[in-house]
Amino acid sequence: MKHFISIQSIPRESIDKLLDRAEQIARHRPTGRPLSEKILGLLFFEPSTRTRMSFESSMLRLGGQCLNLGGAESSVMKGETLADTIRVVDGYVDAIVLRHPRIGAAQLSTEFSSVPIINAGDGAGQHPSQTLIDLYTIRQSFPLDGLDVGLLGDLHYGRTTHSLAYALAKYGVTIHTISPKGLGFPLSVKRSLTRFGACVVEHESIKEALPHLDVLYVTRIQRERFPDPASHYDTLHSYRITPELLSNAQKHLIVLHPLPRIDEIDPGVDVLPHAKYFEQAKNGIPVRMALLLGVMK
């Protein structure tokens, strides 16, 4: 694997291999410092402290070094094309982690880079390393094949849910979308999922979908994205995950959230066996370590 850009373009076998490797890393830390000769460049055109820290920590744990290439805050790069930036900084580092507000930025970068590009989020497009973490966390509880997975929240703009849905399609999962009117999957995402042979069931109510689910993936609904701001309070409230609501779920249901959460999940849920979102956050390190090894070794 040279670049890591979108989950659609990675075959299932390669995803499984990455997840297996992450599992090995989580069980026994890799011996020695496999990336001690390498420098990882972090190029963030929009802030995302968590994602950046997670990549930095993963690289340091593998014995490598990180170089912050600036991005949004760097005056040098203002007005310069992304293509030029990439052509210059690929000489400084052995791989580039890129976060950019425009869709397709990571793919474009691959056309100008001589070193591997890792997509850490491109606008409303993909966030494939988060998807690996999501798959990894689900796999800790059940094999991925044939599950019923609910995706809840803003599915229109939410990039994590698009990537995850594309990945799940490779495992014959039934995808249940649960979102307020107007915030469902964009048509293009639906079309692509159909093309990949995914089974998608749409719901507006969480109560209706919940009893069928093995996995519930919760994302934030941003107020400003809400098509009808006047009604947002009541609607948001009806999508909130609480211990009472979960009493109607299957016993083995797991609840995931890419974090940070605001009030989508009641803190009372944290102590229930369903809650796996803090596990999920921890899984970021072994999964990103496997990814860095995958592109640089």
Partner 1 sequence: MNKIDVDQMENQKKTAFKNIQSGSKYQAGLVIRPIENGTVIDHITAGEALNVLRILGITGSTVERISVATNVISKEMGQKDLVKIENRELAQQEVDRIALIAPQASINIVRNCVVIEKSVVSNPEELVGVVKCPNPCCITNANEPVSTKFYVRQSVLICSYCDWHIEKNIHSYIL
Q: How many residues bind partner 1 (CB under 8 A)?
A: 22
Residue 125 as a binder of partner 1 (CB under 8 A): the answer is yes
Total length of the chain: 297
Query: What is the C-alpha radius of gyration for the chain, rounded to an integer number of angstroms?
Result: 19
Task: Find where tokens 């593998």 sit.
Answer: 62
Residue 105 as a binder of partner 1 (CB under 8 A): the answer is yes
If DSSP codes are grouped into helix, strand and coil, which group holds residue 259?
A: coil
Listed residue (150, 167, 166, 146) closest to 253, CA to CA = 150
Identify whether 127 is a catalytic site residue: yes
Q: Which stretch binds partner 1 (CB under 8 A): 123-131, 147-155, 177-185, 209-217?
A: 123-131
- Residue 244 amino acid letter: E
- Compute the least distance from the CB of residue 189 to partner 1, in Å: 8
Identify whether 31 is a catalytic site residue: no
Q: Which stretch binds partner 1 (CB under 8 A): 145-153, 167-175, 187-195, 197-205?
A: 187-195
Residue 31 as a binder of partner 1 (CB under 8 A): the answer is no
Residue 169 as a binder of partner 1 (CB under 8 A): the answer is no
Residue 75 as a binder of partner 1 (CB under 8 A): the answer is no
Identify whether 52 is a catalytic site residue: no
Task: Find where tokens 């000489």 sit.
Answer: 91
Name 149's Cβ contacts closer than 8 Å, sequence gap at least 6: 138, 168, 173, 174, 175, 176, 213, 214, 215, 216, 217
- Compute the least distance from the CB of residue 105 to partner 1, in Å: 5
Footprint of partner 1 (CB under 8 A): 81-83, 100-105, 107-108, 111, 122-125, 187-189, 191-192, 195
Q: Cite the active site residues.
A: 50-51, 78, 99, 127
